[in-house]
Structure 1
């Protein structure tokens, strides 16, 4: 019996061994058409083999952002262009987090990491959803041109909203955590590719970015403009860098030996790839721009020779082929650039089976999930900054019986989103959120004014002003192509044209991106008046009225609005035809209007008189500040601002409401600092809310009514006047940002109030430290008030006066801590030598013996002329460097 058992056991073990051997043998015998397809080889071997298989023409074709397929190699097409600044952008449904400037205001590195993880989860899920349906177009890949870690040195810059603020250290910490979360921690595969942009000295003006040459000292370059990029590369191992449009020190940033070779490759040992900003290489030769060379071939050769590997644009293909044939550049340089690009695709697992790539298992259900919604709402809450709270007007009592909500941002969905955003399933405007929070109160709402004179707030044209035969609305003819070819696949009556198609398109419930719609019918206004009639979309649009073309625009990446203005007569019929051609993964179509001669102020005053208190929702919108826009209004200049004051229309409204003597709160929604000087003197409570994401209104309501204790901090300085600022085109840091600004700010960097009080004690700093050694710092923080809340503990250094032109002070540490009322926590920092080093005129770190000041507390120390945050404490210690 025992012998039988032994024999059975041996037989079983032999069977297992045989199965394993057969399995191994089968694996080894698996054949591949090309060596690069073998996943057991190293990435270097696979890349080398793939590049060696290509002709010169094929190589060049893969160096443009919309790389075509190479069918003979089994290489699918790939579009490198994707965006995820504060959520997966321009690819339909996604969780929309607060705009980057709002994330900067949280001063929360851990939150930034969690947001990046959520975004990259959604990105991976979307990529596999698209690729499984053989969709490989724009905004469907895994290479994301995010984050923007430029320094927000001037509040006039319209794209400053995309950054984490004006401070190099804050920007570095937020950027590093975001990049790490995006790219993941798998030893074999990248989750997605992050791209740090725009390398390296780039922050406006927008309208002249294609021709400007910016100059800085070596000191300013190393002290202000490079640290965030250096951290992104050395700490976060960012895999991609985007070079900027402008020139720096006479070299185009996308053709700069200094930036792309000496610093990026040689000094920092960057191993990833460089992508140009979009159509930036065209600026090398086009008239009126940089004009560095005379032909596209020379431009392409210059860019690649200096280190730009991928072209967002079409200059490389076919011009690089010509450049090689004419011996403007060696083909070896093409191979180097292409190898960097293909390395990224292999590291993303694009040529491997999904089962080998752990990230491929992320389900689509993570997209717009409850977990991500909760995170977006948390981020919005933490981004809120209480700028002023005179006599503790806030929080408001939820038992209030009537409330007037007034202002152009009260119920405007777009102001939640900022730029570079996806399409959310939720739009919690302040009006919606407050109505939900106070179901028993009487809530009055009036727009009150335009966001700026000449820029009306548009709303969808209602069905009762549209006619399609005997029906209300317009006739919609839907085609399965974007050229209106053949017969319409679907004909229906659309009661209005206000579409944001999310997961499914209107025709076949597929993820198809190419379709077109022709809407026809009549526009019949109910009131006489001067109207702006508009159409907003990201794709191509033509609009005809009475058979006359009134406007058209082509495909764009940010939503574009075309419009005409005309005196319309009540009851009269105006024949409409709108042709919409979609090529985009985020199709949107909105037929809008506004009556321009409508009195908005009078009804606002009337409802304010009826209410117990008034909340004004003012500020800016991403429609008038942003990237290279056509908008020219008083105080605004093609995406930038020419003045930093609140627009005159809003100031007039604010003054009229304040004169009524009602308790009045101002909520600002914007992407950049605003000089609200009059409000600071006359409005008792001011809340900064930024562009706060799809749950922004809920976060605002929670703060206003005490369900959340505000804890955000300003990531930028709020100045009093544009007259306090240097010339916009000057990149010298003199009198810029809190580190060098010598006048009194309206609100300083790092400022933010709470509904509770925090006290600091027992600061432990050594009296002296050996040169080039770390400095330990610790402090006890106590919530000495009556409410639980978060405190942002900030650590600043002030260098010895013997150094010339050093910052007034510099942020070198911050930690957000939650404290229950009465609770005390110890917060510790470790200051590295580079953080207390001076940067000399040659851009070198300089540490010599002497004394430095370390200041720890809830704000900057010794901000001259600023009287806010009196209860916020700062303790300064002096120590000697030996």
Structure 2
């Protein structure tokens, strides 16, 4: 009996891209359109199961909404983790997170596309999502994001553990206007600042996917912005993955029908005539998938009316399905190394220990003027802990836990518990007074407790979609909802945030003040909660809510031995920052935050974290949050932001963080004072621990271009270009070597339309922070950067052909300085992997011969560099076409 030939998409001997192309070639137009939303419908005849591309894992697995209790490990939020300045430890954290993601997938099929990390610049602390990002510096944020992504996606040469999706691309650092606003900047600011972290995420992190933002960039919505999606992302950075829109962002391209009480447009850009045009426009621009139903309900008509071609749809689907093939979702488990990860990886002892270790390294010692910390347990009789944040957990955005989630942590250690545990074997008595209410209201039934929460209707029928509540119009009028499961709630897993929110605050605080007078030490756990700011809602002020500034000052008056611990989503302001002598900054540090806070307070851990965002004295020092200029010459009110341009004296500068020991910097030397643009700057410095505690210091290398006096220039005052964290025993000295390729010290040239190394003198600085430079030297840079070939973007106008049909390949070759090479400047060679299936000539013209699958390899040669790319093709035979018609 003759053996049936295996379909190419099922054959692991073919590349993932070839298999994806073949799978798409088997689909009808209607089936294709069912796959370009975040909920991919099942296609049983092709063996394609229903798939939800939307999962979250910002600092712990948080999806994909299976409506059952799930236990996960919750690590510190990304802003907190960034304060460790520890690339390797962040990678270990995301390795642990992705292990838990894979374990749940292997156990019961949870999906593996994670929509994280958030890497928008923290250029304004009022942003409602400040806790989700990696700080205000593009170099540091980019390096940390790359490590994060590497840990999440795994290190197997063939398969990916989970898909990382850095977001929100780009210039999305204000929540109040994200659906209708335009982030306007010049090209230098766009390239040097706002998109640089994304560049690191793609080039070094090798992210498999990326998410566009809601907003416009210089008037053009991100989801149809050719500058972002083609010029930067694919032509310059060499991105090969797929692009997904933020949820409802495609609808926003059309929108503009929603207004607030003042008549202001609060949703949509009015950039397209209708949803059909918006869907076609974004797909054509390179947004391969819409989070939402826009493509599902509008693309079919758009294709029939000629607004978009099926070939463009094919291109998007090949990118999308290639990611699922890379996850091993269409291969037998024995072929996929990550299929062996099981239940033992979920909430393991190893992960719990890592959550403590990471949390320890996120806490910044802002002030220790009296050297009161670390507290010596001996001789202490009573400690008073004050504040609702000491007992009510704040984990930050997209977190496990809280009353509205079925995803929960098995560990839940808040500050009060951590402090009590730290002194349990001593005679120290720990007392607690709430002091004030958190302001959270607990009432009503389970559904009423979830205003604005996710509404998820799971299934693969025409009326089943998962969208954020409030998306509204784009869902259409014919959506049916029905109960499909049970909400899991119990007192143990879902604790109310503040059961006595209506209590008398004056009475609560009076009790705290009376008690503060009677104890040896007061530890105030101050901060923000979920009512302060969030997604869709920025802060209007940096003040702590519930009049905490005044309360802290009063506690300082009655007991000078007061430690202030700030647990907030970002920087804060207040008179207490001046008056308090002992302050710790502990951004939402995960499930073990209480343990970490106690570890630092009592000296089990020597604080070693440093700020990654400037703490301003007042928001009035900043431009309007919707003004995306960062230099004073570029903002409407001539104000600047970030340590690179801010002219005032901050409350605490970028890079600031104290230790219980002291470090001396000595003997800075530079290997070469006169440098060519193609050289590498090498800086050495000796650092000695001159104190009595073992500890870690973060050495920061800054570069500043010397500007002649009287010259107006928009260059930064200084830029971080290197850092290293080093651990030292008391009296130990180590020599630190930092290397910076001169080509990383570049600026955008409007004259030459590329990134250049500007000749001149540069000040090389070593600092404890951006405002505490301990040594510096001048170097001279000359010559012109000979930028190498770094990216090749190859695209075909068609990838699915019939015998005798043709296609045209288009190739863009780009140098590291963003120069697009002319065709005559490089050599190109095309090769077909199977000349019986298709042929390609020297000009990239492809001709289909007979049924099958083959790839064209494009080899680009420029000077001493070469890059190869492959474009897959499927030539359909008559049998395939008949199957598709059936």
Verify the 8 A CA contact 1:380 1:693 in the aligned structure 2.
Answer: yes
Deviation, 1:776, is: 0.8
From 697, 702, 705, give the equivalent of 2:602. Answer: 705
Q: Equivalent residue for 1:21?
A: none
- Residues 845 and 107 of structure 1: CA distance in aligned 2, closer, same or farther (over 3 Å): same
* Cα deviation 1:316-366 (Å, max 9, x = unaligned): 002111100111111100000000001111111000000100011112211
What is the aligned partner in structure 2 of residue 260 from structure 1?
229
1:448 aligns with 435
**Distance in 2 between residues matched to 1:537 and 1:804, nearest whole Å:** 46
Alpha-carbon separation, structure 2, partners of 1:99 and 1:626: 14
- Distance (whole Å) between structure 2 residues aligned to residue 584 and residue 230 of structure 1: 41
**Equivalent residue number for residue 109 of structure 1:** 87
Within 1, Cα distance between the matches of 2:467 and 2:22? 37
Alignment of 1:865-880 (within 5 A): 874-880=774-780
Q: What value does the CA root-mean-square deviation take over the aligned residues?
A: 2.5
Q: Could you say which residue in structure 1 is the equivalent of 2:616?
A: 719
Equivalent-residue separation in structure 1 for 2:641 and 2:345 (angstroms): 42
Q: Secondary structure at the match of 1:687?
A: strand
2:544 to 646, 654, 659: 646
Aligned partners of 1:704 and 1:419: how far apart in 2?
28
Q: Secondary structure of 1:433's partner? A: helix
Distance 1:447 1:423, change over 3 A: same
In structure 2, the CA distance between the partners of 1:535 and 1:324, relative to structure 1 (3 Å rule), is: closer
CA contact (8 A) 1:245 1:280 kept: yes
For residue 230 of structure 1, give the secondary structure of its aligned residue in structure 2.
Answer: helix
Shift of 1:848: 3.5
Q: 1:428 aligns with which of 398, 405, 413?
A: 413
Report the counterpart of residue 319 of structure 2 in structure 1.
Answer: 340
Q: Can you list the C-alpha shifts for 1:246-272, whole angstroms capped at 9, x where unaligned?
A: 001111100111111222122222110
Tell me if structure 2 keeps the 8 A contact 1:793–1:856. yes
SS of 1:738's equivalent in the other structure is coil
Check if 1:406 corresponds to 2:391: no
Partner SS state of residue 413, structure 2: coil
- CA–CA distance in structure 1, aligned partners of residues 707 and 231 of structure 2: 32
After superposition, residues 604-619 of structure 1 pair within 5 angstroms as: 604-619=512-527
How big is each residue's C-alpha offset from its partner over 1:562-617, in whole Å with a ceiling of 9 and x where there is no partner? Answer: xxxxxxxxxxxxxxxxx997578999766674351423211111221221110111
Q: Which residue number in structure 2 is paired with residue 655 of structure 1?
A: 553
Q: Distance in 2 between matches of 1:535 and 1:97?
A: 24
Q: Conserved in 1, the CA contact under 8 Å of 2:131 and 2:396?
A: no
Compute the displacement of 1:82 (Å): 0.7
The answer as to whether partners of 2:212 and 2:222 remain within 8 angstroms in 1 is yes
| Aligned CA distance change for structure 1 residues 418 and 307 (closer, same or farther; 3 Å) | closer
- Counterpart of 2:509? 601
Q: Go from structure 1 to structure 2 and tell me whether the alpha carbon gap of 1:658 and 1:459 turns closer, same or farther (over 3 Å shift).
A: farther
8 A Cα contact 1:538 1:556, kept in partner: no
The answer to whether the Cα contact below 8 Å between 2:83 and 2:612 also exists between their aligned partners in 1 is yes
> Relative to structure 1, is the Cα distance of residues 661 and 420 closer, same or farther in structure 2, using a 3 angstrom cutoff?
closer
User: What do the CA deviations read for 1:408-436 (whole angstroms, capped 9, x no partner)?
Assistant: 211112x1455444521111101001111
Residues 660 and 582 of structure 1: is their aligned pair in 2 closer, same or farther, counting only changes over 3 Å? farther
Which of the residues 605, 630, 634 maps onto 1:733? 630
CA contact (8 A) 2:454 2:469 kept: no
1: CA distance, partners of 2:374 / 2:327: 48
Cα deviation digits, residues 270-299 of structure 1 (max 9, x gap): 110000000111112222420111221111
**Distance of aligned partners of 1:294 and 1:33 in 2 relative to their CA distance in 1, 3 Å threshold:** same
> Please, which of 749, 756, 759 is the counterpart of residue 849 of structure 1?
759
Q: Which residue number corresponds to residue 830 of structure 1?
A: 739
How does 1:206-245 map onto structure 2 within 5 Å? 206-245=175-214
Choose from 107, 110, 119 the match for 2:97: 119
1:622 aligns with one of 520, 530, 547: 530
- Whole-angstrom CA distance in 2 between matches of 1:270 and 1:584: 41
Q: Are residues 809 and 584 of structure 1, via their aligned partners in 2, closer, same or farther at CA, if it must alter by over 3 Å? A: farther
Deviation at 1:824, TM superposition (A): 1.1
Aligned to 2:243: 274
Taking structure 2 as the reference length, the TM-score comes to: 0.78
The answer to whether structure 1 residue 73 and structure 2 residue 43 are counterparts is no
Q: Is the 8 A contact 1:219 1:844 kept in 2?
A: no
| Partner residue in 2 for 1:867 | none
**Partners in 1 of 2:450 and 2:118 — Cα distance?**
30
Q: For residue 57 of structure 1, give the secondary structure of its aligned residue in structure 2.
A: helix
Distance 1:558 1:169, change over 3 A: farther
Q: Please say if residues 39 and 466 of structure 2, whose CA atoms lie closer than 8 Å, have aligned partners that are also in contact.
A: no
Q: Provide the rounded CA distance (Å) in 1 between the counterparts of 2:489 and 2:89.
A: 27
1:797 and 1:781 mapped to 2: Cα distance? 20
2:162 aligned with 1:180? no
1:416-471 per-residue CA deviation (whole Å, 9 max, x = no partner) reads: 455444521111101001111112322111111234xxx24x5799xxxxxxxxxx
* 1:537 and 1:590 in contact (8 A); partners too: no
Deviations 1:646-698 (A, max 9, x none): 2352122112212213411100001111113x122211100000000001110
Deviation at 1:30, TM superposition (A): 7.2
Between the aligned partners of 1:79 and 1:837, the Cα distance in structure 2 is 41
Contact 1:540 1:580 in 2 (8 A): no
Q: Give the SS at the match of 2:685.
A: strand
Q: How do 1:162-561 residues align onto structure 2 when only pairs under 5 Å count?
A: 162-204=132-174, 206-286=175-255, 287=257, 288=265, 289-399=268-378, 400-413=380-393, 415-421=394-400, 423-439=408-424, 440-451=427-438, 455-456=439-440
Shift of 1:166: 0.3
| Deviation of 1:800 (Å) | 2.0
Q: Distance in 2 between matches of 1:861 and 1:210?
A: 37
- Number of paired residues? 721
- The SS at the match of 2:161 is coil
Q: Which residue of the partner structure matches residue 694 of structure 2? A: 788
Secondary structure class of the residue paired with 2:643: helix
- Aligned partners of 1:623 and 1:32: how far apart in 2? 60
For 2:63 and 2:389, the matched residues in 1 are separated by 23
8 Å CA contact retained: 1:535, 1:589: no
Bigger shift: residues 90-99 or 838-847: 838-847
Partner Cα separation in structure 2 for residue 583 and residue 793 of structure 1 = 52
Contact between 1:90 and 1:423, CA under 8 Å: does it hold in 2? no
* Residue of structure 2 in register with 1:93 after alignment: 71
Specify whether residues 584 and 817 from structure 1 end up closer, same or farther in structure 2 by C-alpha distance, changes over 3 A only: farther
Distance 2:442 2:518 in 1: 26
Q: CA deviation at 1:73?
A: 1.0
Name 1:774's counterpart in structure 2.
680
Structure 1 position 717, deviation (Å) = 0.2
Instruction: Quickly say closer, same or farther: Cα 1:32–1:701, change in 2 above 3 A.
Output: farther
Give the one of 126, 142, 149 matched to 2:112: 142
> Structure 1 CA distance, aligned partners of 2:250 and 2:455?
25
The TM-score normalised by the length of structure 1 is 0.78
Within a 5 Å distance, the mapping from 1:727-766 to structure 2 comes to: 727-734=624-631, 735-765=640-670, 766=672
Gaps of 5+ in 2: 65-69, 258-264, 401-406, 457-464, 471-481, 632-639, 783-886
Q: Is the 8 A contact 1:198 1:242 kept in 2?
A: yes
Q: Does 1:821 align with 2:800?
A: no
Partner of 2:106: 128
Aligned mate of 1:800, from 682, 687, 706: 706
Deviation digits for residues 780-834 of structure 1 (CA, Å, limit 9, x no counterpart): 1111100000111111111121582100111111111111111111111111123
